[in-house]
């Protein structure tokens, strides 16, 4: 199972996977709140990226949101839906200016969370 964050991007037949993982000296419960609590998420997301819920914010299965990249005059958006959810795991599927998935997972370890 992949630790950390994994983004799968597909455009026509060119598909690729970008994986990134970091160690955080905090419990998995605390780390998970940073990607399930919208206010906390916006504190560490790239300032040019904004997540807007479609309806009420949730990371439960089937929940929808839009991720907007703040680019002057363009503001491209990705429409997302949560397609997999478990404790410590959220997988968003995106459509928009690219198609792909973003898997955010936290796994506890002796010194914090991967």
> What letter does residue 25 receive in the DSSP assignment?
S
Kindly tell me if the per-residue pLDDT of 114 is higher than 60.
yes
pLDDT band per the 50, 70, 90 thresholds, residue 26: very high
Kindly tell me if the per-residue pLDDT of 10 is higher than 50.
no
Count of structural domains, the chain: 1
pLDDT band per the 50, 70, 90 thresholds, residue 5: low
Share of the chain above pLDDT 90, in %: 68
Rounded CA separation 44/50 (Å): 11
Residue-range definition of the domain harbouring residue 41: 4-9+18-113
Q: pTM, whole model, 2 decimals?
A: 0.81
Kindly tell me if the per-residue pLDDT of 6 is higher than 80.
no
Contact 24, 108 (CB under 8 A): no
CATH of residue 72's domain is 3.30.530.20
Alpha-carbon distances, residue 112 vs 3, 8, 12, 94 (angstroms): 13, 26, 39, 29
Q: Which helix (H) or strand (E) holds 43?
A: helix 38-44
pLDDT band per the 50, 70, 90 thresholds, residue 20: confident
């Amino acid at each position: 199972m992949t630790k950390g964050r994994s983004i799968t991007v597909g455009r026509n037949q060119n598909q690729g996977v970008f994986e990134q993982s970091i160690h955080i000296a905090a419990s998995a419960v605390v780390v998970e709140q940073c990607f399930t609590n919208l206010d906390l998420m916006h504190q560490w997301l790239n300032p040019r990226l904004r997540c807007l819920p479609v309806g009420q914010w949730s990371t439960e299965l089937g929940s929808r949101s839009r991720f907007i990249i703040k680019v002057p005059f363009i503001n491209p958006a990705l429409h997302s839906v949560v397609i997999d959810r478990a404790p410590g795991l959220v997988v968003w599927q995106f459509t928009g200016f690219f198609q792909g998935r973003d898997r955010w997972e936290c796994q506890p370890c002796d010194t914090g969370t991967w």
